[in-house]
Amino acid sequence: MAYRITLIPGDGIGPEVTAATVQVLEATGCAFHWDHQDKVGADSVEAGGEPLPESVLESIRRNKTALKGPVTTPVGKGFKSVNVQLRQKLDLFANVRPAKSLPGLKTPFKDIDMVIFRENTEGLYSGLESYDERHGIADSIARISKVGSERIIRFCFEYAKRQGRKQVTVVHKANILKLTSGMFLRLAREVAAAYPGIEFNDRIVDNMCMQLVMHPQRYDCLVTTNLFGDILSDLAAGLVGGLGVIAGANIGEDYAVFEAVHGSAPDIAGQNKANPTALIRSAEMMLLHLGEFAAAEALHAGIMEIYTEGKYLTGDLGGPCSTTEFADHLAARVAAHV
Ligand code: NAI
Ligand code: MG
């Protein structure tokens, strides 16, 4: 049986890392039928369409699962982020972003193993923005709901329980944002009471940033609201080798979209330089989600081998390989594990 998966290459480095990921996925022996959705974001707008065409959403609703490259969002003007819209329209409320040290990389710490759970549909990304021209006043409303907060917190605890993880930290700013962050913290305390086997604590977000840079090994699962989760996951990427290696999954009740934490990296786009590891590891999460455990294991073993050897890495990690060379080496290793 072939899995029907929606494939959104995106723009910038998206098509390059997506092609590499498809090559490596196919080396696992799993069969895929890719439902290509090429026109999103600026490409779609230029062709006279919407940034996020209904046909793309329909494809994901039909297939339930998508693999997605990054999509550029214009800064300070232009259309609303395709990435944020996709998460909201499909109600992909949990953004799961593991940050684990890889072998063979020169990083300040060796033994980091965290998972960040970012609420993915509400908060400062709600899209409730307005500008009062006359008084020169801008508003962005950080609306969160009890239901939306509770479900991401519960999702984090359930994941921790299933995976045998020891600790959950809720990250907030409840000292200042007493109603929004305050509610999130209160709900986290309530949910935590139902999981006595998991150590629970909380950190104010600014202190959390300092803690993560000084003692990242002390942290395990972090659960937080949308903006804090966005920022902390790039910080966590920086601790384990950068944005080229950090995977992510957007999970909802009905659909799942797998994409890296990084963006479209316009500075290196089209140069065959991008590190596809981040999207490949997102694809590993997809294989686990599909129940393809042997394929996920083969993919994982291939990545660990390549990183342990350290000879075939991409330029962001000081290696000599292009995107396509890296993919060729990795695909061969993965195939040898099948
Ligand atoms: P970025 O993540 O695209 O790039 C930040 C830095 O990391 C750049 O120096 C880039 O070259 C490097 N980098 C990122 N991914 C890499 C990879 N796979 N291999 C090697 N180096 C890599 O963040 P930036 O520049 O802030 O955003 C660029 C665009 O991407 C913006 O339009 C932003 O809105 C969009 N974006 C899209 C996301 C998505 O589609 N989910 C997520 C984050 C940003
Ligand atoms: Mg981000």
Q: Quote the ligand 1 centre to 194 CA distance (angstroms).
A: 38
Residue 314 forms beta bridges with which residues?
Answer: 321
Please tell me the distance from the alpha carbon of residue 302 to that of residue 124, in angstroms, as a whole number: 39
Contacts of 69 (CB under 8 A, 6+ apart): 8, 9, 10, 11, 13, 14, 15, 17, 18, 259, 260, 264, 279
CA 295 to chain centre: 21
pLDDT bracket for residue 122 (50, 70, 90)? very high
pLDDT tens by residue, 141-158: 999 999 999 999 999 999
In the prediction, which pLDDT does 91 show? 98
Ligand nearest to the CA of 226: 2
pLDDT at position 1, please? Answer: 84
Could you give the residue ranges of the DSSP H alpha helices within 240-317? 277-290, 293-309
- For the entire predicted model, the pTM comes to 0.97
pLDDT band at 57 (very low <50, low <70, confident <90, very high): very high
Do strands 113-119 and 221-224 pair parallel, antiparallel, or not at all (unpaired)?
parallel
Please give the pLDDT value at position 109: 95
Atom of ligand 1 nearest to the CA of 274: 19
- Distance between CA atoms of residues 248 and 287, nearest Å: 13
Kindly state the average pLDDT of the residues 225-251: 98
User: Ligand 2 centre from 175 Cα, in Å?
Assistant: 25
Domain ranges in the chain with CATH number 3.40.50.2300 = 119-239
| Average pLDDT rounded to a whole number, residues 78-101 | 97
Atom 43 of ligand 1: nearest residue by CA position: 263
Predicted confidence (pLDDT) at residue 69 exceeds the cutoff of 90: yes
Positions annotated as catalytic residues are 125, 173, 206, 230
* CA 234 to ligand 2 center in whole angstroms: 6
Q: Whose atoms come closest to the Cα of 264: which ligand? A: 1
pLDDT at 99 over 90: yes
Sign of CA dihedral 284, 288, 290, 294: positive
pLDDT band at 51 (very low <50, low <70, confident <90, very high): very high
pLDDT mean over 327-331: 98
131 CA distance to ligand 2 middle (Å): 24
Name the CATH architecture for the domain at 119-239: 3-Layer(aba) Sandwich (3.40)
Q: What is the pLDDT of residue 98?
A: 98
CA angle (158 as vertex; 245, 222 as ends), nearest 5? 45
Q: Identify the H or E element spanning 66.
A: strand 65-68
Question: Any bridge partners for residue 171, and if so which?
Answer: 203, 224
Categorise residue 77: left if φ over 0, alpha if ψ from -120 to 50, beta otherwise: beta
Residue ranges around ligand 1 (CB below 6 Å) = 13, 17, 70-73, 83, 243-244, 259, 262-268, 274-275, 278, 316
Element (H, E) at 100: strand 94-100
Question: Length of the chain in residues, anyone?
Answer: 338
Q: Which of 140, 22, 28 is nearest to 76 (CA)?
A: 140
Tell me yes or no: is domain 1-99+243-338 CATH 1.10.10.1400: no
Which residue puts its alpha carbon closest to atom 6 of ligand 1? 265
Domain with CATH 3.40.718.10 in the chain: 1-99+243-338
The mean pLDDT of the chain is 97
Ligand 1 pocket check: which of 262, 313, 326, 330 to mutate, most ligand atoms within 8 Å of Cβ? 262
Nearest to 256 by CA among 35, 83, 93: 93
